[in-house]
Amino acid sequence: MARTQVSRFLASPPFAILCAFRAFAVKLHEAMDLVLFDLDNTLLAGDSDYEWAQFLIDEGVLDRATYEAANDRFYEEYKAGTLDIYEFLAFQLAPLARYPRPTLDAWHEKFMEAKIRPMMGDRARRLVAAHVERGALVAIVTATNSFVTGPIAREFGVEHLVATEPERNGDGSFTGGVAGTPCFREGKIARVEAWLESRGHQLDEFPASWFYSDSRNDVPLLERVSRPVAVDPDPRLAEIATARGWEIMSLRS
């Protein structure tokens, strides 16, 4: 392009519009808040991981005598902050490897109707919608695996999910193992930072970063955001939130 043509383009309305749009996009990028939600016992009035195993037991897919006591034990260890996440995932992900995906998907839709939708309260739905409508970058960040939680995130209207990932074979079926770092305790920080980096962001760049959680297990990520919020917190998190002046709220009726 000749020099005179370049000069004319730089002075033209289309170039000015392009510059204005880019400036607006940069400003919008800088002004966007980050909002992260834990799922189980935070947005949900219950635990989807625990309820998925109970659903499979009730359906006769898993043997009640073998699995129910183990499911209860893992849940109590989680609440006490003593859960061995790899031992739990070996228990929780194994059934995914035993059945074809269409069968798992059919069970999951029944699970959504029977167990999950009744746990999705209006207050939680409104809180999520409010942040989405304000233009925040919103994600659900959960230790529960993405097979269980993907449809739940979509039901809440949340595009982004950072969850523990089940390992897959080349054909997309599940191996029964875990892929990468479990999204649990400090692993939530690593997984959130990796997700943000994949989108060209860093955690510290946001004007405000929120994380809503009920659990003592999420203190590491709560400490990393600028707006930690304890939602219907367990006793230990309630103590920590009170001592540190964190916001405490309820999403239950």
Which domains, ranges and CATH numbers included, belong to the chain?
30-249 (3.40.50.1000)
Whether residue 26 is predicted with pLDDT greater than 60 in this model: the reply is no
Name the nearest CA neighbour of 60 among 24, 3, 107, 97.
107
Q: Strands of 137-145's sheet, edge to edge?
A: 174-179, 160-168, 137-145, 34-37, 209-213, 227-231, 247-249
Active site residue: 33, 38, 171, 234, which one? 38
User: Residue 142's CB: how many other CB atoms inside 10 A?
Assistant: 31
What percentage of the chain exceeds 70 in pLDDT?
A: 88
Catalytic residue among 40, 49, 218, 234: 40
pLDDT reported for residue 2: 52
Q: What was the pLDDT predicted at 21?
A: 47
Tens of pLDDT, residue by residue over 185-240, are 999 999 999 999 999 999 999 999 999 999 999 999 999 999 999 999 999 999 99
What tens digit of pLDDT does each residue of 96-147 get? 999 999 999 999 999 999 999 999 999 999 999 999 999 999 999 999 999 9
pLDDT of residue 98: 96
Average of per-residue pLDDT across 144-156: 98
- 49 labelled catalytic: no
Give the chain's mean pLDDT: 91
Q: pTM for this one?
A: 0.87
Is 38 noted as a catalytic residue in this protein?
yes
pLDDT reported for residue 19 = 47
Q: For the chain, what percent of residues have pLDDT higher than 90?
A: 87
Res 23: pLDDT: 44
